[in-house]
Amino acid sequence: MSLSSLSLLLLAGASPLAVGQEVPTVTAPPEPAAPAPVPGDEDRTPDDVQRSSVSSDIVVTARRRAEQVQDVPIPISVVGVKELDSTGSFNVQRLQQLQPTLQFYSTNPRNSSVNIRGLGAPLGLTNDGIDQGVGVYIDQVYFSRVAVATLDFLDVQQVETLRGPQGTLYGKNTVAGAISITSKAPSFDFEGRAELTVGNLEFKQAKASISGPLADTVAVRLGLSTTTRRGTIYNVASDNWVNAQDNVGLRGALLWNASDTASITLSGDWNRQNPECCAQIYAKYGPTQRAANRQYPALTAALNYAPPSTNAFDRLTDLDSELNALNELGGVSLRGEYEIGSGTLTSVSAWRFWNWGPANDRDFTGLPVTTLSQNPTKQTQYTQELRYAGKGDGFDYVVGLFGFYQDIHTTGTQRQGPAASRWLISPSARDATAPGSPFLYLDPTVLDGLTAANDIRLKNFSGALFAKANWDVTDQITLSPGIRVNYDDKVGSYVSIVTDGQGRLVPATGGTPRQVEQRTAVTPQAFRDEAYRAWNVSYDFTASYKPAQDVLLYATYAHTFKSGGLNLNGVPVVAGVAQTQFAQVDPEKVDHFELGVKSQFWDRKATLNVTGFWTSIRDYQALVNDGQNSTLRGYLANAGKVRVRGVEADFSIRPSERFKLYTNGAFTDHEYVEFTNAPCPPERSGGTAAPVGSAGGTPGVPGQLSPVVCDISGQWLPGISKWAFSYGGELNQPLGLFGLDGQIYFAADANSRSKFSSNASRSIYTDIDGYTLANFRLGFRTDDFNIFGWVRNAFDAEYYDVLATTPGNTGLIAGQPGDPRTYGLTLSKSF
């Protein structure tokens, strides 16, 4: 089905969404606050108010106070509990299908990135030594691990996605935006909800929550969620389906209204994923400049190997190493709110932990090249935010203090197998100490059992003072300056000790020809107590103007930064010496401009918001891969300058309770303005080094010279589509069924995106073609009951989540196919 045909179908009827939905506010006072009165309603007749009841009056707390989203001069997308439940958006990965400027990439929970407008974190392997550019907050607590984004939403009320820098309003500095998730608050009226979903691929999901009073001033809320699904890829080696889902989550909250002006909320949660995951499988062969006898076709022929399929959408693999993605997170938080004077003092204290227990197949084949690859990690974090939101005559303000401490310890292991020598060692390598002996590449004992034991540590402190004011110059004009003073202190170590198959230490320099080849494959290195410490000041200024009751114009300039950091995946090694000058990464310096208009018309039955933005970043933190099969999986380097600019538009219309429609779109122009010393793409890698400054030989031709670095100025940034859309709507009709008065409804939603790059340096092999995913639902609902059938990726589109180069410059490109068509039935009941 063509995109145009799908668009026509969706115009006939489709799904609900954020921009055009009424979402109740959730705040911390004794009971959830009702939506604020609509300005101007006091001048409307009862008929006027009745007609506008189908409009969008969404209440958010983006500026630390309850206000309607249309009055906030920040581009915000809001998805409420009804939309989350009805669209199956039970985690951030699903949420991105509703919001075209939100990007989520994940090869496993640890190696996940959440970006807004393509900015936030480098696409690829996660490096613990840098900060995220998109802040994820749950109930005002900052989560430092993006792994939380892969977990199921648990008892959530609404999700606010704020685009653009937010460091003067939120605890942790965020240069690209923030995702603020608000859980349902404990209720003083007894209530509960249960939901059960079953589907193909043995999909089963259950959610339940209950809330009510324990005393006149104390209320409690408990929630549970569990999700399981069979894998989408069949492993012929283990006779099992992999890339499964296995999630469970628990959450509890206790609210105490200590007085009329004070409340305290104690909450805790525990979440665990433990699936057999995550396989990246054969996607294609793309010739590099490595010698032909050292590329994938020749190597597999020599080892008499062939993958079970060269079509990734056959969804077959033969990975021979253990796969696991144990991801466990949890913690407790204490939030207190106290009304003092004309404002509210808020304190948010939290402790969190994260345990990561992976197992991977990092040669991406069924051959015993790398038989063990894992980096189990344990992390604890502490956060404290103290904030006062006050109001004066013609102005309001927020001032806050924020402290963050993080302790990470990773103990990684990589072990080579009996096929490693043939796969990794050049056929020209001969053991000169044993004349007449076979070439080293034919001796499996050279690399078999070669093991790197890594010890990685980070202690990370960040503290900040931030403030934001809104001054109403007139009834129509508001000026909003903000400032943040930030201090970062990071101390990290990276130690990789390499031993051979007999347990003997492989030296960093010198040694026998065998040891030279061993450390070429797996490189020992160490740097300890590397420290990054710096103060930074960021600021922003917004001017907004309301020429009419339902129109808001605004302009923003922000100068901000993303903290510098440490390379905790290792650094390049030259002649056995770790190049510690690469151990530190400079901070990103961001200049951001934004113009926007928010409007409602047709008696607030229609909403149109348009935003234009221009973001320039100096010293952009880019991920660099060296392409070799070693413990150096990738490190960070500063690109000179990048630019992202574009236009976003959100439109929704709800002419009656029977019909609603929305479409959101984004055009994003993006490029490395200056990156002259970038890593080369695979087609320009793997050969003998060309003279410094030379462009090297013909790309993609074996045996050619390869440039040491490449100038990729003017090329695309990874992960960003130039065009992205989400759209949908709903038709419903009153109906009595089984003695119940309710509605029958048909809904659909879809998202489309154009081609994007999946490699730090754009490659002819790793562009992912654009695709469209369409979802449909048909159901019956009452005020407290809902049953509907659903189908996701209804037309079974074949697409990749990620394409990736693999170690060794063999030309093997691995991919992670997106989910196939899924379908099922959901039943929910509230009481």
Positive or negative, the CA dihedral 77, 80, 82, 85 is: positive
Residue given tokens 């630019």 in the structure block: 643
* Token pair belonging to 354: 């994260």
CA distance 118 to 791: 29
| 569 within 8 A of 127, measured Cβ to Cβ | yes
Helix (H, G, I), strand (E, B) or coil at 283: strand
pLDDT given for residue 215 in this prediction: 97
Q: Residue 6, CB half-sphere, CA atoms under 13 Å: how many? A: 22
Query: Which tokens in the block code for residue 477?
Result: 């004009």
* pLDDT averaged per 10 residues, the chain (length 831): 40 38 34 36 35 55 83 90 76 81 85 88 77 90 83 87 89 89 95 97 97 98 96 97 96 97 97 94 96 94 96 97 93 97 96 94 94 93 97 95 96 94 80 54 90 95 96 97 97 95 93 88 90 96 97 98 88 72 89 97 96 96 59 66 97 95 96 91 91 91 92 94 96 92 96 94 95 97 96 97 89 96 97 93
Rg, C-alpha atoms of the chain: 27
DSSP code, position 708: S
Q: Which domains does the chain have, with CATH numbers?
A: 3-675+712-830 (2.40.170.20)
Cα 81 from Cα 32, distance rounded (Å): 14
Confidence (pLDDT) at 89 = 72
Query: What letters, b where the CB count within 10 A reaches 16 and e where it falls short, cover 768-788?
Result: bebbbbbbbbebbbeeeebbb
Burial 115-153 (b: 16+ CB within 10 A, else e): bbbbbbbbbbbbbbbbbbbbbbbbbbbbbbbbbbbbbbb
Please name the residues in contact with 410: beta carbons below 8 A apart, sequence gap of 6 or more. Answer: 128, 375, 376, 377, 378, 454, 455, 456, 457, 568
pLDDT for the residue numbered 130? 84
Closest of 468, 462, 460, 469 to residue 484, by C-alpha: 468
Where does residue 436 rank: exposed (0-12), middle (13-18), buried (19+ CB within 10 A)? exposed
Q: State residue 85's pLDDT score.
A: 75
CB 339 within 8 A of CB 262: yes
The pLDDT assigned to 128 comes to 83
Nearest 5°: the CA angle 164, 96, 119 is: 35
What does the alpha-carbon distance between residue 104 and residue 149 come to, in Å, rounded to a whole number? 9
Q: Give the phi and the psi of residue 537 in degrees, each rounded to 5.
A: -125, 130
Does the predicted TM-score (pTM) go above 0.85? yes
In terms of C-beta density within 10 A (0-12 exposed, 13-18 middle, 19 or more buried), how is residue 796 classed?
A: exposed
Backbone angles phi, psi at 322, to 5 degrees: -60, 140
What values do phi and psi take at 269, rounded to 5? -150, 155
Output the CA–CA distances (angstroms, integers) from residue 561 to 120, 483, 620, in the order listed. 11, 12, 10
Nearest in space to 603 (alpha carbons), one of 653, 545, 651, 658: 653
- 653-692 core/surface letters (b: 16 or more CB in 10 A; e: else): bbeeeeebbbbbbbbbebbbebbeebbbbbbbbbbeebee
What is the spatial distance between Cα 146 and Cα 151, in angstroms, rounded to a whole number? 10
pLDDT value of residue 492: 95
Q: Which candidate, 227, 224, 220, places its Cα nearest to that of 250?
A: 224
Residues pairing with 255 in the sheet: 219, 265
CA 804, 756, 181, 542 torsion: positive or negative?
positive
Q: Is 99 exposed, middle or buried (0-12, 13-18, 19+ CB in 10 A)?
A: buried
pLDDT computed for residue 576 by the predictor: 64
Strand residue runs (E) in 111-155:
112-116, 134-138, 141-143
Say if residues 184 and 212 touch (Cβ distance below 8 Å): no
Q: Number of H helices and number of E strands within the chain?
A: 7, 44
Beta bridge partners of 737: 740
Long-range pairs for 203-209 at CB < 8 Å and ≥24 separation? 203/227, 203/228, 203/229, 203/230, 203/245, 203/822, 203/824, 204/228, 204/229, 205/90, 205/152, 207/154, 207/155, 209/155, 209/184
- Residue 480: strand, helix, or coil: strand
- Maximum C-alpha span of the chain: 100
Encode 358-371: b = buried (16+ Cβ within 10 Å), e = exposed. Answer: bbbbbbbbbbbbbb
Q: What is the DSSP string of 771-798?
A: EEEEEEEEEEE-SSEEEEEEEESTT---
